[in-house]
Amino acid sequence: MTGNMVKFVLASGSPRRKELLEQLGLEFEISSAHGEEIITKTFPSDIVEELSRQKANEVAGRYADTCKNDTCVIIGADTIVAFGNEIMGKPKDYKAATAMLTKLQGTVHQVYTGVTLVVTEGGTEKQAPQIITFHEKTDVCMYPMTPEQIAAYVATGEPMDKAGAYAIQGKCAIYIKEIHGEYNNVVGLPVARLMQELFARKLV
């Protein structure tokens, strides 16, 4: 890469991803992607990679004219929860949240986060941006939950904007027995893998 300043842009309005990037000490802007999510893939790992690419590419288009002198890194990410062949998004209501948690309690499920980096190197505006896409998978084992415990957790409102209807970093932490994989991947951004990718390309 060049010696130009590196500008980071998070293509997500997720407060959890914002907090994770802040913990890394990176200075970044936020420019949320708002385009329609188009899924053409079948497997969870492919789906999150596809959606992360869509988000990163959308936001990269907005910065095409403002990153001509500096190196610009757009970070797009998407997270889904998978239970067997079923993909669990954000519950539409309390009933849906209860149904999701009833399935997940006492079992093992997977959390996938796809990340795409769109890197435009300053001073080479005619050169096509470099696009790096990867995903991480974390297995999450939950303790059994009684209907009363599920109802009490759903009543807090925390599950309502979370894929799979729970937050590992929130009140649901007391029901997480163990995980295999990166913890922050479940929160919404595999920051260790992200940093390794940035290190490898001398972007940090």
Nearest in space to 88 (alpha carbons), one of 44, 42, 23, 133 = 44
Q: What are phi and psi of 193, to 5 degrees?
A: -65, -40
CA 21, 34, 100, 170 torsion-angle sign:
positive
Does 78 participate in catalysis according to the annotation?
A: yes
| Contact residues for 99 (Cβ-Cβ < 8 A; gap 6+) | 91
Note whether 59 and 131 are within 8 A (CB). no
**Rounded distance, CA 143 to CA 169, Å?**
15
CA angle, residues 21, 23, 28, in degrees to nearest 5: 35
Exactly one of 46, 65, 70, 78 is catalytic; which is it?
A: 78
Q: What are phi and psi of 49, to 5 degrees?
A: -65, -45
- Give the catalytic positions in this structure: 78
